[in-house]
Amino acid sequence: MKEKKTTKLSIKETVWYCIAAFFGLVGLVFLVLGIVGEHLPVLSSENGILLSEKAWLTNWSPLGYRYWGIILILAAALLAVICLSLFAREGDRDVERVMRRAQRLGISQDESQSK
């Protein structure tokens, strides 16, 4: 049977993935709040979601919950892709370093055995 290659995630890698997941989750919550707030079958003056959007978001941004949700989800996806790329490159570097070392040791052992 073939053994599965398992690699442990470093603490740094886990933290970055958790940050990306948090941004994605907050973005999803904002997106759902925006959609529910628009389609809630109550008067606009009694809709707590739209009132909170006007009270909280319009002070510093003209965008609503829905747009901030999309922005946060895209930021989370971009952060996750960057982390995947950086940590995959780091893992490849480690594998190549081990292979080069094994090759050097193999050559030096062959030379010592031939003498």
61-113 per-position pLDDT tens digit: 788 889 999 999 999 999 999 998 888 877 667 777 777 777 777 766 666 66
Whether the model clears a pTM of 0.75, i.e. scores above it, the answer is no
**Comparing C-alpha atoms, which of 62, 63, 60 is closest to residue 30?**
63
27-48 per-position pLDDT tens digit: 999 999 989 988 888 887 788 8
Residues 20 and 74 sit within 8 Å (Cβ to Cβ):
no
pLDDT at 1 over 60: no
> How is the chain split into domains, by residue range?
11-87
